[in-house]
Amino acid sequence: MTEPTLDDRAPRRWIGPVVALLAFFAVVGAYLLTELKMAGRVGPPLDDGWIYMAFARSLAEGEGITYPGHDGPVASVTGPIWCFLLALAMKVVGANVWASKLLGILVGALGVIAAHRLAHTASKGDLRLAGIAAVLLALTPRYAWGCLSGMEVPWFVAMTCLGLALHLENRDRSTLRWLPAAFTLTLAAWARPECLVLPFLAAAHRFWHVRRIDGFLLAVPLVATFPAYHLLVSGHPLPITFYAKAADGTPVSIFKQEG
């Protein structure tokens, strides 16, 4: 029996992503229908989704990242890049809830494809495992909820999976070939600040294998863009939401004081 050639395997490469995307669209479709049946309309499930929409609407109207009635920008959103993307969606769809829903579905589909690529790379080309991983993500109820929540969940997932895939594919290659991985992981951090550690972890993994420090030299300025933006806007290196959660009387401050 002859081994399948690259030409023979080319059509098979698309089976996993296509099946996963169909599963994802079926799940989000069922979610939207259930939402309409139960509530009579669609909307963000948490106040965070409405907050993102308010800031994005101000940005789309040329007022900067701020909330209605406030003069000047504020750093009150955890993921500024999601606010930028949502503002662009509002320019196309209009300043309504469907802008966040459609953006979440689109980026969520990108996350499913990115998960397939990451699993395919990590498994050294196993299409079956890659397809299973992508379908599992597509069928995860919490992922569908996150994609339709109006929040930054799908962007964080998509950029993390894609960034890690790019890192594994280019870990041992030149600095320029590895740069897109570091950049993509930084984009994940612009949605979820805890991801700021990812470019450094990828750089450490690169150093472990090829004994080159260029990864750290790239990670430092890329990661620095996030606190630099917030210093410019609010005078603090992190979003205001971080300081609100660490203020007196919050669980973080109580744990710090009492241990």
In three-state form (DSSP H/G/I as H, E/B as E, the rest C), the secondary structure along 34-98 is: HHHHHHCCCCCCCHHHHHHHHHHHHHHCCCCCCCCCCCCCCCCCCCHHHHHHHHHHHHHHCCCHH
Quote the pLDDT of residue 3.
Answer: 53
Q: Give the domain extent around 132.
A: 14-249
Contact criterion met (CB below 8 Å) for 185 and 201:
no
* pLDDT, average across residues 60-81: 72
Q: Is the pLDDT of residue 137 over 90?
A: yes
Question: Per-residue pLDDT tens for 108-118?
Answer: 999 999 999 99
Domain assignment of residue 4, yes or no: no
| Predicted model pTM | 0.87
> From the CB of residue 212, how many other CB atoms can be counted at a distance below 10 Å?
15
Q: Domain total for the chain?
A: 1
Domain assignment of residue 254, yes or no: no
Quote the pLDDT of residue 4.
Answer: 54
Quote the pLDDT of residue 1.
Answer: 45
Domain assignment of residue 256, yes or no: no
* pLDDT, average across residues 46-57: 85
Q: Is the pLDDT of residue 161 over 90?
A: yes
- Percentage of the residues of the chain whose pLDDT score is greater than 90: 62
- Percentage of the residues of the chain whose pLDDT score is greater than 70: 85
Q: Is the pLDDT of residue 191 over 60?
A: yes
Q: Which residues contact 229 (CB under 8 A, 6 or more apart)?
A: 75, 80
Confidence of residue 18 (pLDDT cuts 50, 70, 90): very high
Domain assignment of residue 7, yes or no: no
CA distance 33 to 8: 40
Quote the pLDDT of residue 44.
Answer: 85
Question: Per-residue pLDDT tens for 218-259?
Answer: 999 999 999 998 888 878 888 877 776 665 655 556 555 665
Q: Is the pLDDT of residue 94 over 50?
A: yes
Confidence of residue 72 (pLDDT cuts 50, 70, 90): low
